[in-house]
Structure 1
Amino acid sequence: MSSANIALLGAIAGFTIYLGLPIGRLRTPAPRLKAGLNAVAIGILTFLVWDVLTHAWEPVDEALSKRTWASVASGGITLALGLTIGLAGLVHYDAWAGRRRAAYASRPGPGAAATAELAPRNRSQAGSLALMIATGIGLHNFAEGLAIGNSAAQGELSLALLLIVGFGLHNATEGFGIVAPLAAEGERPSWPTLLWLGLIGGGPTFLGTLIGQHLVDDTLSIAFLGLAAGSILYVVIELLAVARRTGLKTLTTWCILLGLLLGFTTDAVVTAAGA
């Protein structure tokens, strides 16, 4: 199979994320449905944190078993930096954005309206969460694309194809995870917004497939996986705060479990196929 065909299939695997995005166009849901959507997203994203960190740690674990300490050190440091930037970086960015919004809102006088017009457009909290989720998933999917491209470059075409199928199924559930905060708050994103979120979340699979066919590098993969894990973990923390405010503990628990099971079910396709 040609490199162009592999890249095309990698693009298909990434853009199945659009299958779940239209859920964000639902009309304002009932409170229990809001809580359920939010909780399912928590379950899916919690699975992704585990899945991403497992793949990021594999090269380090292999280096430990071989006692190649230089690889252990480089991989471990890269993962730690990725996690720090992905998690703590978003905390500080969110705080900075909050101060910026407060500063614009508190400016007095007739020039305030003009200043607001010149200021960058502020997103709602749900919109910001959706963008953060899409970004974290995009970093994760870039690493998945690298895996597809690496397999093809090493002549393992059957494995590459099976990874494409598995990642494609998995990405369909990730699309739902992106828009869940919007659906839970009753915000209906425009079609261009959904197109943009899907491009951020799914497009990197295609880019990773292209690069992975020409570059096999564990450190690069670990870096992107670490960034993804940190950013997704931050979003999980935010969504848990939303879940607590609903007061629907039993419903939330069952829907988080459902999200976890969805994540494991789709990932099982890749594992079983690889076996």
Structure 2
Amino acid sequence: MSSANITLLGAIAGFTIYLGLPLGRLRTPTPRLRAGLNAVAIGILVFLVWDVLTHAWEPTDEALSKHDWATVASGAATLAVGLATGLAGLVHYDAWIARRRAAGSRQSGPGAAVSAELAPRTRSQAASLALMIATGIGLHNFAEGLAIGNSAAQGELSLAVLLIIGFGLHNATEGFGIVAPLAAEGERPSWSSLLLLGLIGGGPTFLGTLVGQHLVNDTLSIAFLGLAAGSILYVVIELLAVARRTGLKTLTTWCVLLGLLLGFATDAVVTAAGA
């Protein structure tokens, strides 16, 4: 199979994320449905955090078994920096956005209305969460694309194709995870917004496949996986706060479990490919 065909299949694997995005267009879901959608997204994202960290730690774990301390040190440091950047970076970014909103709300007088018209429109909290989820998933999917490209570069074409199928199925559930905060708040994103979110979340699979065929580098993969895990973990914390406000503990618990099981089910295809 040619390099161009592998790259095309990698693009298809990434863009299956659009299968789940239209759920964000649901009209005025009931409070229970909104809480359920939010909880399923939490389950999917919790699975992703575990899955991403497992893959990020693998090279370091192998180095530990071989007593290769230089690789252990570099791998652990790269993962720690990626996690800190992804998690703490979003905390500070969110605080900066909150300060901007607070400063805008404190303005008064004749110039306030003019300033509000001229100032760039800020996103709602749900829209910001959706963008953060898409970004975190995009980083994760870039690392998945690297795995596809690396397999093809090493001549393991059957593995590369099976990874494409598995990641494609997995990305379909990730699309739902992106729009869950919007559905939970009853916000209906425009089709152009869904297109952008899909490009951010799914496009990196294509880019990773392209890069991975020419660059086999564990450190790069660990760095992107660490960033992804940190950013997704931040979003999980935010969605848990939304879940607590609903007061539907039993429903939330079962739907989180459903999300986890969906994550494991789609990942099983990737595991089978690796076997």
TM-score range, shorter chain: over 0.9
Q: Which amino acid aligns with 2:261?
A: L
C-alpha distance in structure 2 between counterparts of 1:16 and 1:155, whole Å: 25
Q: Which amino acid aligns with 2:10?
A: G
1:192-223 per-residue CA deviation (whole Å, 9 max, x = no partner) reads 00000000000000000000000000000000
1:37-74 per-residue CA deviation (whole Å, 9 max, x = no partner) reads 00000000000000000000000101111111111111
C-alpha distance in structure 1 between counterparts of 2:241 and 2:32, whole Å: 16
1:83 aligns with 2:83: yes
- Map of 2:223 onto structure 1: 223
Identity %: 88
Q: Secondary structure at the match of 2:187?
A: coil
- Map of 1:127 onto structure 2: 127
C-alpha distance in structure 2 between counterparts of 1:256 and 1:216, whole Å: 36
- Map of 1:160 onto structure 2: 160
- Map of 2:147 onto structure 1: 147
C-alpha distance in structure 2 between counterparts of 1:14 and 1:119, whole Å: 35
- 5 Å matches for 1:225-264? 225-264=225-264
1:40 aligns with 2:40: yes
- 5 Å matches for 1:50-199? 50-199=50-199
C-alpha distance in structure 2 between counterparts of 1:92 and 1:274, whole Å: 38
C-alpha distance in structure 2 between counterparts of 1:208 and 1:6, whole Å: 11
C-alpha distance in structure 2 between counterparts of 1:203 and 1:141, whole Å: 8
C-alpha distance in structure 1 between counterparts of 2:72 and 2:160, whole Å: 27
Provide TM-score, normalisation by structure 2. 0.99
1:65-121 per-residue CA deviation (whole Å, 9 max, x = no partner) reads 111111111110000000001001101110111001110121122111221222221
Q: Stretches of 4+ moved more than 2 A in 1?
A: none
C-alpha distance in structure 2 between counterparts of 1:250 and 1:244, whole Å: 11
Q: Secondary structure at the match of 2:105?
A: helix
Provide TM-score, normalisation by structure 1. 0.99
Where does structure 2 lack aligned partners over 5 or more consecutive residues?
none
1:17-49 per-residue CA deviation (whole Å, 9 max, x = no partner) reads 000000000001001001000000000000000
Q: Secondary structure at the match of 1:67?
A: coil
C-alpha distance in structure 1 between counterparts of 2:197 and 2:117, whole Å: 25
C-alpha distance in structure 1 between counterparts of 2:7 and 2:117, whole Å: 42
C-alpha distance in structure 2 between counterparts of 1:89 and 1:176, whole Å: 24
Deviation at 1:273, TM superposition (A): 2.2
C-alpha distance in structure 2 between counterparts of 1:223 and 1:236, whole Å: 20
C-alpha distance in structure 2 between counterparts of 1:215 and 1:121, whole Å: 40
- Map of 1:200 onto structure 2: 200
**Alignment: residue pair count:** 275
1:140-172 per-residue CA deviation (whole Å, 9 max, x = no partner) reads 000000000000000000000000000000000
Q: Secondary structure at the match of 1:252?
A: helix
C-alpha distance in structure 1 between counterparts of 2:217 and 2:155, whole Å: 16
C-alpha distance in structure 2 between counterparts of 1:28 and 1:15, whole Å: 27
Q: Secondary structure at the match of 1:175?
A: helix
C-alpha distance in structure 2 between counterparts of 1:130 and 1:117, whole Å: 25
C-alpha distance in structure 1 between counterparts of 2:119 and 2:218, whole Å: 41
